Amino acid sequence: MKGEKVQSKTGKIVSTVIMWLLLIIFIMPFFIVIVDSFKSNAEIMENPLNLTGHPTMNNFVEAFVRMNYPSAFCNTFVITLLSVFLITIFSAMTAYFIVRSKSRVGTVIFYALVASMMLPFQAIMIPLVSIYGHIGLLSNRATLIFMYVGFGCGMAVFIFHGFIKTGIPVSLEEAAKIDGANMIQIFFKIILPLLKPVIATVVVLDVLWIWNDYLLPSLVLSQPWQLTMPLSTYSFAGQMSINFGPLIASLLLTMLPVLIIYIFLQRFIIEGIVAGSVKN
């Protein structure tokens, strides 16, 4: 017994050391980005790992202006916000319909949505571009939001469906009905507030996806003023090639909003991810 305890103590030290070493390797790229974004290009070429003696903000200024940061940020923000809002509302309503109506229509919709989750985006991207290009709806931010709702509702309905089915008693709605509430009031005043924990999961998963998505916006958006942050970062990087200073500053600028939010909401975000991928 005694021997085992000692062993587990050394074991603990070993695992702590391994853990922190791994962490340093994991975090290294971010460290390099932060350090190098304040250096001139010549300093980066000379030694990308040391701290600079003369930090400069020039990289940030150049990146900020040339990648059109304010416009890219606003586009990403508005597109993510509206898409996630619409996905959440529509999906919660549909899931509620599916659970409560108990009709065959509902079941068919549910399984069509679930099946769509297996579909890789690449399998529909070409016809999508072709169809929407013909109608002349490409190069339009509203179309992009519309598409995100289409792609996002499968998983969201699935998550809401599971929660409503097991977590929300019918008796509540029956009581509200007796009190004279109609179905819209019942949903928005009683059901939706009860869905808060799942809404958090859906929002976390969808925000991370839409905020960082590249392929779909690259197919839909084309004008410089429409670009989202991944798009403008990528095109800016293409112009910079070996002008590393501004390039790295632009990467840091792109990461910054998410990292700041993560510092405050990390617990919440990780719990959302766990709920989204495990509880199903």
Site for another protein in 249-268 (CB under 8 A): 251, 254-255, 258-259, 262, 266-267
Nearest approach in angstroms of CB 41 to another protein is 10
**Cα distance between residue 217 and residue 155, in whole Å:** 20
Q: Which tokens in the block code for residue 54?
A: 């003369």
Is 50 a binder of another protein (CB under 8 A)?
Answer: no
Count of chain residues binding another protein (CB under 8 A): 105
Window of 27-35, 54-62, 173-181, 192-200 that interacts with another protein by CB under 8 A:
27-35
Q: By C-beta, is 129 or 200 nearer to another protein?
A: 129
Cβ partners under 8 Å of residue 254, min gap 6: 229, 230, 233
CA angle in degrees (0–180, nearest 5) for 180-184-188? 105
Window of 55-63, 77-85, 143-151, 163-171 that interacts with another protein by CB under 8 A:
143-151
Among 220, 233, 246, 249, binds another protein (CB under 8 A): 233
Nearest approach in angstroms of CB 44 to another protein is 7
**Cα distance between residue 51 and residue 38, in whole Å:** 9
Is 72 a binder of another protein (CB under 8 A)?
Answer: no
Cβ partners under 8 Å of residue 200, min gap 6: 268, 271, 272
Among 72, 128, 176, 227, binds another protein (CB under 8 A): 128
Is 245 a binder of another protein (CB under 8 A)?
Answer: no
Interacting residues with another protein between 153 and 212 (CB under 8 A): 153-155, 157-159, 183-184, 187, 205, 208-209, 211-212
Report which secondary-structure segment, H or E, holds 69: helix 69-101
Is 116 a binder of another protein (CB under 8 A)?
Answer: yes
Q: How far is CA 136 from CA 131, 132, 227, in A?
A: 9, 6, 18
Interacting residues with another protein between 73 and 92 (CB under 8 A): 90-91
Q: Which tokens in the block code for residue 177?
A: 């009905």
Q: How far is CA 247 from CA 235, 239, 253, in A?
A: 11, 9, 10
Among 64, 77, 146, 188, binds another protein (CB under 8 A): 146
